[in-house]
């Protein structure tokens, strides 16, 4: 039993270190996503009826809460391993389980709403582009120029035609509109790479979270039975 406990403690320490690194990675990714130029630009331009702004803020707060839960689980598991405390082990298991309950809905949301973020970002670009094309707002022209510079793209294929004037005024210097620089495609490609990276990070975190739950539960039972075995064979003189 002691040999198995030592093996579990070593594995749990390594797992706790990996979970802490994953928690820090999720916190960094959430901060970059929330304050990154591409995302903040679209969020500031989007209208109130557009769902992107809500998703933008919700993703940040969810990521920060998830990272704090993972870091807390790693710290409690490490302390429980060193001190062989059943209470700390149970708290570590609870934090792992809480993180797991948050990770699974996030991964499911990635599949069920895979195009919602993409559509909302492209809707923002369509709105700004069409207003500039109709010359309804000079302020929108500056916003469209900022989007073109951020995504390094130029205009889009419009069914209404006469887009050359818009692209000439808002595209970065040296960019000529062609099929490879269509902004809708660039936004879609940029977001796909970002979401694939997020989903990969979530998948790895789910694996380590489940493994952490298994190790903490095994350590709890090992401490419990080891404590009972130590009490056997002892006599009290009265």
Cβ burial, residue 185 (10 Å; 0-12/13-18/19+): middle
| Positions of E strands within the chain | none
- Rounded mean pLDDT, 151-163: 68
Best CA proximity match to 194, nearest among 137, 151, 142, 147: 151
Domain ranges of the chain: 1-150+183-228
Q: Could you give the CA distance from residue 19 to residue 9 in angstroms, rounded to a whole number?
A: 15
Q: Provide the mean pLDDT of the chain.
A: 83
The tokens describing 5, both together, are 């406990």
Best CA proximity match to 89, nearest among 221, 238, 195: 221
Query: 14-53: per-residue pLDDT in tens?
Result: 999 999 999 999 999 999 999 999 999 999 888 777 788 8
Q: What is the pLDDT of residue 5?
A: 67
């Amino acid at each position: 039993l002691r040999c198995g406990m030592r093996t579990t403690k070593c594995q749990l320490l390594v797992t706790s270190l990996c979970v802490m690194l994953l928690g820090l990675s999720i916190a960094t990714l959430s901060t970059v996503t929330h304050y990154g130029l591409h995302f903040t630009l679209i969020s500031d331009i989007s209208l109130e009826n557009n769902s992107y702004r809500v998703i933008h803020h919700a993703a940040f707060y969810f990521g920060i809460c998830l990272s704090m839960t993972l870091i807390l689980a790693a710290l409690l598991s490490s302390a429980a391993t060193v001190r062989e405390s059943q209470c700390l082990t149970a708290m570590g298991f609870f934090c792992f389980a809480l993180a797991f309950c948050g990770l699974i809905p996030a991964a499911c949301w990635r599949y069920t709403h895979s195009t919602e973020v993409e559509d909302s970002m492209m809707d923002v670009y369509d709105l700004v582009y069409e207003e500039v094309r109709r010359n309804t707002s000079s302020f929108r022209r500056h916003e469209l120029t900022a989007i073109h510079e951020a995504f390094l793209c130029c205009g889009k294929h419009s069914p209404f035609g006469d887009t050359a004037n818009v692209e000439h005024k808002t595209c970065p210097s040296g960019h000529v509109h062609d099929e490879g620089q269509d902004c809708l495609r660039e936004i879609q490609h940029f977001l796909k790479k970002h979401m694939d990276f997020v989903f990969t990070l979530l998948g790895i975190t789910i694996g380590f979270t489940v493994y952490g739950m298994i190790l903490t539960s095994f350590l709890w039972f090992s401490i419990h039975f080891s404590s009972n075995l130590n009490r056997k064979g002892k006599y009290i003189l009265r």
